[in-house]
Amino acid sequence: SAKSKVHIVYLGEKQHDDPEFVTESHHQMLSSLLGSKDDAHKSMVYSYRHGFSGFAAKLTKSQAKKIADSPEVIHVIPDGYYELA
Amino acid sequence: TTRTWDYLGLSADNSKNLLNDKNMGDQTIIGVIDTGVWPESESFNDNGVGPIPSHWKGGCEPGENFISTNCNRKLIGAKYFINGFLAENQGFNTTESPDYISARDFDGHGTHVASTVGGSLVPNVSYKGLAKGTLRGGAPRARIAMYKACWYLNELDGVTCSFSDIMKAIDEAIHDGVDVLSLSLGGRIPLNSETDLRDGIATGAFHAVSKGIVVVCAGGNAGPASQTVVNTAPWIVTVAATTLDRSFATPIILGNNQVILGQAMYTGPELGFTSLVYPEDPGNSYDTFSGVCESLNLNPNHTMAGKVVLCFTTARDYAVVSRAASLVKAAGGLGLIIARNPGYNLAPCSDDFPCVAIDYELGTDILFYIRYTGSPVVKIQPSRTLVGEPVGTKVATFSSRGPNSISPAILKPDITAPGVSILAATSPNKNLNAGGFVMLSGTSMAAPVISGVIALLKSLHPDWSPAAFRSAIVTTAWRTDPFGEQIFAEGSSQKVADPFDYGGGLVNPEKAAEPGLIYDMGPQDYILYLCSAGYNESSISLLVGKVTVCSNPKPSVLDINLPSITIPNLKDEVTLTRTVTNVGPVNSVYKVVVEPPLGVRVAVTPATLVFNSKTKSVSFRVRVSTKHKINTGYLFGSLTWTDSVHNVVIPVSVRTQILQNYYDEN
């Protein structure tokens, strides 16, 4: 249960035009969850910061549940797959 | 694509068509999210292509066997996204993987899609002489940006694309300034709601469409069963697949001189008269026999050695043909005739082994010839390309069908385009490629046709919304083939195609250029949809980035301003509204023509719409009532606005449900 898996944390429309600022806010959110900037940096897979706001990060189930409870988070889901058509 | 564009009326030889009028889509940027690109393919030469559009903010990312100079004025962008896939597959060995850790395409699918959407002109391309012609994309001077988010996995012998990588690709494509985004990918039913991130394409597409990018997606290959269509969000253009007016007729000549035209991509030498067998117990043997294609391995080798084998199968997928051919070949057989229902996924058998498909009726003819002839023999000649009449257009068996299983009132698929046996560029690693070109089938192949057409339309109407492009192609689509003949749909029996097979119909690019009226939509309409679908306000607010309060009572999904009317549960009577915007001559008068579905009354008010310099948009009401007393299936009609120059047609689909929410299996 403590195994980390990639989760997508979706925050909706981005709240700032500067992508660096958006990414920084993602790192901050992840740092507060994981307890350190270093852990946040290691966990972060992607910061979605141009068309919308969100990030992909390696999280345990309990971490995913905790961040899903944040008011600014719309959805947290484990990564999944599409196939070619 | 050596036939697609001539078939759709976009011949490069016609100087007066949409293609040449708009300089072949120059200045339009098409983003493709797929397996990457083979940049050296002739399809991506930049001869005659102008400078890179000024709105391009993307780049060409170097990686394994890919350097930034692999991009040019045609292939202007190439990026790859693998972090999500790697984080979830830590055992994946990038050094041992045959795929390239770069935008370079190992699988070939992405190259095929990219060359279909916007490949440059390449004359004299064929598959070993079949389907010969000039290969090109729909918008041959449009620019291509490849976003590789799909990776080949040895263990799967296939490709997988993770949500997290796709979402990053969409995020980057939005940043880079693409005008059209083409995704030949999809999930499977059951579908996830549009505000659920599990449908990452719908979520990413929402943001892309909100920024004016047209998002075109494959509708999926799970047909012919109904309710299988995917990528159904109302802001996405969802594409079904048809055949072309082209086939690969392969003469099978029986010893009694009967000639049967099967289908194959057989390019080997003629197989002269050879013994023909259907493996079955002669009545005096202890051996096991089977004429079922999947079980040919049960037959003693001597039954098939030196012969052409006839077998029957209920399967439609090509893998059965390929496996059966291998079994016959391994037993020393010289050819294979497969009797099956059409699956529209023809492919050559490896090593030019003759394998020809026919239907059960012709298969039974051959079976009876074998049974009632002392020494049955057969000759198989190489396949020939048959183009134009009398080859009819069919919605492919595999093409996923509506209704939309999330919101049946939102008609899906939207539109159809050729997606069967399409010859286009590929990776040289691809099996069965001939000189870097391969024939593939799927809604993957149909979606880039629509993306290419929209790229051309975008050059003509740079200010149109994504919904306007969708409306233009849907309301002007052919509901017959380009020659006026009916389009059929393959299923458990062939039937005349309906909107759940092909949406508005077969894309008609020339007509779509000047549609007269459009059913426009913007972000506010998508919010109305989300409210009508019952999503909670907080999710909608976050998705759209502003506080959203749904009206009370909720808006009706029937009022979403789509270029279609689909009423899944009509009990007595319902009234719905649409708004049309004039994009034709300023002073125009349109009159309504209704073809109601059988047993359904459709009344439109007003019956005449008058447009002038002050009135650009007009709303009308449609009152629909049923005469039926039972729960019916869907019945189809149409609603047309005509000014005698433009015919703006939308499909009308109505199902009477006296008993609501009722699953009928009596």
Q: What is the pLDDT of residues B336-347, one digit of tens each?
A: 999 999 888 889
Q: What is the pLDDT of residues B432-444, one digit of tens each?
A: 899 999 999 999 9
* Interatomic CA distance for residues B55 and B75, integer angstroms: 15
Q: What does the buried/exposed string (b/e) look like for B596-632 if buried means 16 or more CB atoms within 10 Å of the residue's CB?
A: bbeebebebeeeebebeeeeeebebebebbbebeeeb
pLDDT for res B195: 60
Structure tokens belonging to residue B266: 């057989």
Does A65 have pLDDT greater than 70? yes
Predicted complex: ipTM over 0.90:
yes
Residue B24: name the closest of B117, B147, B146 by CA.
B117
Helix ranges (DSSP H) in B331-359: none
Pick the residue of A23, A52, A69 with the most B CBs within 10 A to test the interface with B by mutation: A52
| B224: preceding bond cis by omega (within 30 degrees) | yes
Does B188 have pLDDT greater than 80? no
Q: Are B56 and B127 in contact (CB under 8 A)?
A: no
In this structure, what DSSP letter does residue B651 have?
Answer: E
pLDDT for res B448: 98
- Tell me the pLDDT of chain A averaged across its residues: 94
Q: Are B38 and B146 in contact (CB under 8 A)?
A: no
Q: How many CB atoms lie within 10 A of CB B124?
A: 9
Candidates B109, B162, B200; nearest CB to A84: B109
Q: Are B28 and B180 in contact (CB under 8 A)?
A: yes
Does B80 have pLDDT greater than 60? yes
Please report, rounded to a whole number, the percentage of residues in chain B having pLDDT higher than 90: 84
Structure tokens belonging to residue B87: 């984080």
Q: Are B102 and B70 in contact (CB under 8 A)?
A: no
Helix axes B443-460, B109-118, angle to 10 degrees: 30
Candidates A15, A76, A83; nearest CB to B185: A83
B319 Cβ contact partners less than 8 Å away, ≥ 6 residues apart: none
| CA geometry: angle B637, B642, B645, nearest 5 deg | 130
The whole-number average pLDDT for the span B438-457 is: 97
Q: Are B380 and B259 in contact (CB under 8 A)?
A: no
Check B34 against A12: CB less than 8 A apart.
no
Residue B297: name the closest of B283, B306, B287 by CA.
B287
Check A52 against B203: CB less than 8 A apart.
yes
Label each residue of B438-472 as H, E or C. Answer: EEECCHHHHHHHHHHHHHHHHHHCCCCCHHHHHHH
Does B190 have pLDDT greater than 80? no
| CA geometry: angle B632, B635, B636, nearest 5 deg | 170
Handedness of CA B111, B117, B123, B128 (dihedral sign): positive
Q: Are B436 and B392 in contact (CB under 8 A)?
A: no
pLDDT for res B664: 76
Handedness of CA B187, B189, B192, B194 (dihedral sign): positive
Question: Quick check: helix, strand or coil at residue B37?
Answer: strand
Candidates A12, A52, A79; nearest CB to B164: A79
Strands B647-656 and B634-642: antiparallel
Residue B25 backbone zone (phi > 0: left; psi -120 to 50: alpha; other: beta): left
The H helix count followed by the E strand count for chain A is 3, 5
Q: Are B247 and B386 in contact (CB under 8 A)?
A: yes
| CA geometry: angle B141, B59, B102, nearest 5 deg | 100
Q: Nearest CA to CA, how far is A20 from chain B (Å)?
A: 13
pLDDT for res B632: 94
Q: Nearest CA to CA, how far is A28 from chain B (Å)?
A: 19
Distance of CA B48 to the CA centre of its chain: 29
Check A45 against B161: CB less than 8 A apart.
no
Q: Nearest CA to CA, how far is A59 from chain B (Å)?
A: 11
Check A84 against B443: CB less than 8 A apart.
no
The whole-number average pLDDT for the span A47-73 is: 95
B439 DSSP β-pair partners? B423
Candidates B164, B175, B184; nearest CB to A85: B184
Tell me, yes or no, if A83 comes closer than 8 A to chain B by beta carbon: yes
Check A82 against B187: CB less than 8 A apart.
yes
Q: Nearest CA to CA, how far is B157 from chain A (Å)?
A: 13
Q: What is the pLDDT of residues A22-33, one digit of tens each?
A: 999 999 999 999
Residue B84: name the closest of B175, B183, B200, B233 by CA.
B200
Structure tokens belonging to residue B15: 């100087």
pLDDT for res B51: 96
A41-50, B91-100, B101-110, B166-175: least confident range: B91-100
Tell me, yes or no, if A84 comes closer than 8 A to chain B by beta carbon: yes
Residue B291: name the closest of B264, B313, B269 by CA.
B313
The whole-number average pLDDT for the span B16-44 is: 94
Helix axes B537-544, B523-532, angle to 10 degrees: 160
Handedness of CA B326, B332, B338, B344 (dihedral sign): positive
Check B174 against A50: CB less than 8 A apart.
yes
Q: What is the pLDDT of residues B258-314, one digit of tens each?
A: 999 999 999 999 999 999 999 998 888 888 999 999 999 999 999 999 999 999 999
Distance of CA B427 to the CA centre of its chain: 21
* Interatomic CA distance for residues B495 and B492, integer angstroms: 9
Pick the residue of A3, A7, A82 with the most B CBs within 10 A to test the interface with B by mutation: A82
Strands B608-611 and B588-595: antiparallel
B588 Cβ contact partners less than 8 Å away, ≥ 6 residues apart: B516, B582, B610, B611, B643
Query: Which chain B residues are closer than 8 Å to A6 by Cβ?
Result: 84, 87-88, 162, 164
Check A6 against B87: CB less than 8 A apart.
yes
Q: What is the pLDDT of residues B221-240, one digit of tens each?
A: 999 999 999 999 999 999 99
Active centre residues of B (catalytic): 34, 109, 444
Q: What is the pLDDT of residues B374-412, one digit of tens each?
A: 999 999 999 999 999 899 999 999 999 999 998 999 999
B240 DSSP β-pair partners? B416
Residue B494 backbone zone (phi > 0: left; psi -120 to 50: alpha; other: beta): beta
Candidates B164, B196, B207; nearest CB to A52: B207
* Interatomic CA distance for residues B333 and B219, integer angstroms: 39
Instruction: Residue count of chain B, please give it.
Output: 666
| Helix or strand run (H / E) with residue A63 | helix A61-68
Residue B248: name the closest of B388, B386, B44, B69 by CA.
B386
Counting Cα atoms < 13 Å in the Cβ hemisphere of B390 gives: 1
Look up residue B121 and give its amino acid.
L
Look up residue A57 and give its amino acid.
A
Q: Nearest CA to CA, how far is B648 from chain A (Å)?
A: 31
The whole-number average pLDDT for the span B444-451 is: 98
Please report, rounded to a whole number, the percentage of residues in chain B having pLDDT higher than 70: 99
Check B542 against A49: CB less than 8 A apart.
no
Q: Nearest CA to CA, how far is B522 from chain A (Å)?
A: 16
Using pLDDT thresholds of 50, 70 and 90, give the confidence band for residue A1.
Answer: very low
Question: Quick check: helix, strand or coil at residue B333?
Answer: coil
Q: Are A43 and A37 in contact (CB under 8 A)?
A: no
Range from B82-91, B98-107, B152-161 that averages highest in pLDDT: B98-107
- Tell me the pLDDT of chain B averaged across its residues: 94
Check B196 against A77: CB less than 8 A apart.
yes
Structure tokens belonging to residue B166: 């796709």
Does B199 have pLDDT greater than 80? no
CB pairs under 8 A between A and B: 140
Handedness of CA B407, B513, B216, B502 (dihedral sign): positive
pLDDT for res B193: 66
* Interatomic CA distance for residues B198 and B425, integer angstroms: 32
Check A83 against B160: CB less than 8 A apart.
yes
Using pLDDT thresholds of 50, 70 and 90, give the confidence band for residue B194.
Answer: low
* Interatomic CA distance for residues B122 and B127, integer angstroms: 14
Q: Nearest CA to CA, how far is B131 from chain A (Å)?
A: 22
Those of residues 2-61 in A touching chain B at CB distance below 8 A are 5-6, 8, 10-15, 19, 45-46, 48-52, 54, 56, 58
pLDDT for res B197: 58
Structure tokens belonging to residue B656: 């009477």
Question: Quick check: helix, strand or coil at residue B600?
Answer: strand
Structure tokens belonging to residue A36: 């350190």
Q: What is the pLDDT of residues B566-599, one digit of tens each?
A: 999 999 999 999 999 999 999 999 999 999 999 9
Check A85 against B186: CB less than 8 A apart.
yes
Query: Which chain B residues are closer than 8 Å to A84 by Cβ?
Result: 34-35, 107, 109, 150, 158-159, 161, 184-185, 442, 444
The whole-number average pLDDT for the span A42-56 is: 96
Tell me, yes or no, if A80 comes closer than 8 A to chain B by beta carbon: yes
